[in-house]
Structure 1
Amino acid sequence: MAKLQFSMCSWRAGAECEERNWVDLPRDVVSTIFQKLGAIEILRRAQRVCSVWRAISKDPLLWRTIDMRNSGDVDFHLGLMCRRAIDYSSGHLLHINIDYFATDDLLHYITDSTSHLRCLRLAYCYQISDEGLCDVAKKLPQLEELDISISNLNKDPLEAIGRCCPQLKSLKFNMEGYRRPHIECDAEAIAIAETMPGLRHLQLFGNKLTNEGLLAILEGCPHLESLDLRQCFNLNLGGSLGKRCAEQIKELRLPHDPTDDYPFEAEIDYGSPDEDYPSVISDIDFLSDDDYYDYYEFSAGSDFSEYDYDLDYYDF
């Protein structure tokens, strides 16, 4: 954000310029400016200008949308600021974006603060566990959009979301695309097909589903309007299945379609050029789907409560 100015010029008749204090701006004008800034800029800078702006920054209607997307350079201040923004929302929160720094604890804080959440985005959410997302699913009855891009999550939270969120219309469950090792997994696709019949939009970038999983989705989600299958390299859409996709789906993105508009890393990992299963992973070549996920020990969320700290102590 450009450095805040404390005075402005307004043209009078005769093109004269008058100095005016920003504190004198009408409340609705300041609120409009704040909406353009975004959550991080408001909390770190704008609310610190003066007591009037700080009071305006606490308006619950200003925090119906909390967008805290960032470049991945994360420190614990983001979690603290997010909780403060949630407090300011006073239960009015509808949309939240917490890329990179989401944890199980933060998810619980969000769902304990509002039952009206409609859109949740969790990109690069490696600190979210299957159990954590399953636990909060029942607290999201009005959820309409869910974006889980780049994570360790498996089919279990998808099933929980499908069962507990009947209003869900849009799902993004994206992975990083790779060619080798060759792994086929229809677990997520089957979970979606069996629990999310109302889906209109589905993105499965880099997923390991096969034709069987795709067919299940087409049959279980009859209202699909858009389907993104880019870098889903296990699919063979040259026959009747490809024809059905083209006929049933209005907006279809195929495995080899361009990725220019994809917001995350889309470079393909081709692995070893000589073999499907490089020796460095030989120990897990033939694990079942459940065992494959259990093989890796990922974080199950933060080990401490970020909110134990005095928020006013920190200079955001």
Structure 2
Amino acid sequence: MDGKTATAGAGEDEPRIPPEQTRDWSDLTPVLLVNAFRRLSLRDRWAGAMLTCKSWLEASKDSSLFSSLDLEPYFDAAGSGSGDLIGWWTAGFERRIDSMIRSVADWGAGSVREVRVRHCSDGSISLLAERSPKLEVLSIQSSQSVTDASISRIALSCSMLRELDISNCYEISYKSLETIGDNCPNLTILRRNFMNWLDPSQHTGIVPDEYLRNCPQDGDMEATAIARAMPKLKHLELRFSKLTAAGLISVSEGCQELEVLDLFGCVNLTSRGIEQSSANLKNLIKLIKPNFYIPRSVYHTERYGHWRLYDERFQTNVFQI
């Protein structure tokens, strides 16, 4: 038998491999698709998988994929220029964020536990409250259209809430803090920070002037509400709040489980007042005092002289989005 004949005989005994065919990925079962989509980033699911075909779109809406909506990484990465920041304070951008929240609330089918967004409105937050009773984390900083109305709905419908960030939400008052505290006994983290009103150059021309004028002035009322209704707080941020020593004393007496207290920019407080109040907080691990650069336009020795001034201007991270 020659070499040619031997080769031919061997080929006849082996299974023939069909030519490569194009796979139809749309035929994958929903279970396999969901399992694959679970490994994708939020951006890839929304901007990729959902737009591929009808079967992928339906699989992308599986409720198990919507326990969390976290847009913070995208805000942090995208806000490299003032043009981006200005666009975020528009009605059109707000509608886009609202649309995402509504979709998650619908598709999550009651399984949503975490939402971290910015620039949303009452409508989407009210719907989230209605459809997400298991919500544990809500971060909606810089939402100019969110008011006490939707926060009250969150308080009454989401009793499992343990973390809340309403920083730079100027249409939310101390009443919401009371309602949240009275109805969400598991709350341990509260972020109620404000924009740097001592140096408005950081947000002038970006944030609407009429919105900045609505910045709450009732720092002590908010502090009193926190102290009365949120005794289990472990982490509290009040950056650039206008609370005074009286408000801080209320917090130290009512929130004695605090481990982290951030008072950066709270210029109505004195060193002595902070030391006296923090002495009551036996579990306190981290205390951030109001040290910052003070522009000469607002500098008064009798009011600010007790704080050390930095040589370089303090750059807040609030708008480095």
TM value normalised by structure 2: 0.67
Aligned to 1:127: 145
Q: 1:95 to 1:20 in 2, by over 3 A?
A: farther
Any conservation in 1 of the 2:257–2:281 contact (CA below 8 Å)?
no
Shift of 1:46: 2.3
Shift of 1:134: 2.4
Secondary structure (helix, strand or coil) at the match of 2:158 reads coil
Aligned to 1:149: 167
Any conservation in 1 of the 2:116–2:138 contact (CA below 8 Å)?
yes
Q: What are the within-5 Å matches in structure 2 for residues 2-151 of structure 1?
A: 23=25, 26-27=32-33, 30-34=36-40, 37-38=41-42, 41-69=44-72, 70=75, 71=79, 72=85, 73=88, 74=93, 76-100=95-119, 102-151=120-169
Does 2:223 match 1:223?
A: no
Q: 1:83 to 1:135 in 2, by over 3 A?
A: closer
CA distance in 2, matches of 1:68, 1:94: 14
Aligned to 2:267: 233
Does 2:196 match 1:190?
A: no
Shift of 1:224: 0.8
CA distance in 1, matches of 2:234, 2:268: 23
Aligned to 2:289: 254
Aligned to 1:306: none
Q: 1:21 to 1:213 in 2, by over 3 A?
A: farther
- Work out which of the two has the higher radius of gyration on C-alpha atoms and give 1 or 2: 2
CA distance in 2, matches of 1:20, 1:237: 71
TM value normalised by structure 1: 0.68
RMSD: 3.1
Shift of 1:64: 0.2
More strand by share: 1
Secondary structure (helix, strand or coil) at the match of 2:223 reads helix
Q: 1:219 to 1:75 in 2, by over 3 A?
A: closer
Secondary structure (helix, strand or coil) at the match of 1:146 reads strand
* Residue type at the aligned position of 1:161: I
* Residue type at the aligned position of 1:251: K
Residue by residue over 1:81-120, the C-alpha shift from the partner in whole angstroms, topping out at 9 and shown as x without a partner, is: 32122211111000011211x1111111001102111000
CA distance in 1, matches of 2:24, 2:226: 51
Any conservation in 1 of the 2:258–2:281 contact (CA below 8 Å)?
no
Please say which of residues 157-166 and 19-28 is displaced more in the overlay.
Answer: 19-28
Shift of 1:219: 1.0
Contiguous gaps of at least 5 residues in structure 1:
1-17, 258-266, 277-316
Does 2:224 match 1:209?
A: no
Higher relative contact order (CA 8 A, sep 6+): 1
* Residue type at the aligned position of 1:241: Q
CA distance in 2, matches of 1:51, 1:41: 16
Shift of 1:192: 0.3
Contiguous gaps of at least 5 residues in structure 2:
1-19, 80-84, 201-216, 303-321
Any conservation in 2 of the 1:198–1:223 contact (CA below 8 Å)?
yes
Shift of 1:230: 0.9
CA distance in 2, matches of 1:51, 1:126: 36
